[in-house]
């Protein structure tokens, strides 16, 4: 088994690939979104951190301001299922940075449940955040990105959009929709100078995938104790070591680098694509 999962920090090897860019990243207070915010800012971008976790989001913004300069990073409360919040976030980015030419639709939630026991309310809650949030984000940001002379949109889908996985009906449905919307948006927005792609991570070690956050009841309360959730998380990582060819769960910084590639000029001829980063999980089954 190769190295264990690391925190959401990124290596100190920035090369200014996003200098002059301004990017809005959703769900950026922690996990994969926080890793993207750190990396994008380190690569020269002005970053608007959007999230509903205000304390964590503001703390990250302040940390990056101290490191990089106060005008480089801002925090904005953003419920991605709210049209009004999206309008306010785009306005905040253009007001603070003078333009918006990048969006990373990273915000998402995960719920584990069997198909026949999934309550409609739970299914719709996942749809509102993952699918509707992505739709609203592209719709709100595209005009601003076009006004800036073009840019990029990166949507966070999942390898479950392309293959099956038990217990994630609602999650997989929304991620499949994100891949479909990405392709349509790429066709419609290409003439406006906007490239649209999707990252499709496999299992990544983030708070979203923590069983304590993914197994919840109708009230939103955890269905297992902290101790049981920690034990299940450890057992799951051991399982990934067996079923993932690279022998481990993914790290947030690895997904951030893929989002950076799709946001930078390194991918200037890439649009409409679901880019899988799953450690080889989709390749198949190893015998022996």
Active site residues: 171
Structure tokens given for 219: 């009230």
- For strands 194-201 and 73-77, give the pairing: unpaired
Separation between Cα atoms, residue 52 and residue 177, nearest integer Å: 23
């Amino acid at each position: 088994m190769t190295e264990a999962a690391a925190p959401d920090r990124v290596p100190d090897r920035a090369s200014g690939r996003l200098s002059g860019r301004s990017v809005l990243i959703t769900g950026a207070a922690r996990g994969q979104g926080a890793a993207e915010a750190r990396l994008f800012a380190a690569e020269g971008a002005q970053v608007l951190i959007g999230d509903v976790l205000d304390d964590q989001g503001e703390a990250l913004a302040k940390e990056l301001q101290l490191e990089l300069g106060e005008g480089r990073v801002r925090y904005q409360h953003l419920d991605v299922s709210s049209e009004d919040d999206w309008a306010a976030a785009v306005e905040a980015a253009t007001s603070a940075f003078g333009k918006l030419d990048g969006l990373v639709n990273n915000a998402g939630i995960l719920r584990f449940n069997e198909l026949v026991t999934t309550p409609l309310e739970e299914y719709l809650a996942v749809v509102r955040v993952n699918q509707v949030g992505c739709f609203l984000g592209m719709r709100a940001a595209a005009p601003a990105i076009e006004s800036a002379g073009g840019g990029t949109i990166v949507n966070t889908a999942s390898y479950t959009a392309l293959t099956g996985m038990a217990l994630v009906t609602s999650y997989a449905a929304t991620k499949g929709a994100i891949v479909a919307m990405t392709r349509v948006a790429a066709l419609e927005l290409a003439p406006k100078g906007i490239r649209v792609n999707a990252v499709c991570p496999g299992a990544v070690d983030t708070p979203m995938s923590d069983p304590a956050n993914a197994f919840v009841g109708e009230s939103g309360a955890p269905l297992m104790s902290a101790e049981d959730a920690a034990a299940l998380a450890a057992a799951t990582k051991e399982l990934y070591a067996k079923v993932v060819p690279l022998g481990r769960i993914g790290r947030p910084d690895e997904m951030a680098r893929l989002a950076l590639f799709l946001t930078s000029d390194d991918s200037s001829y890439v649009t409409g694509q679901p880019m899988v980063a799953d450690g080889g999980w989709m390749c198949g089954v190893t015998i022996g």
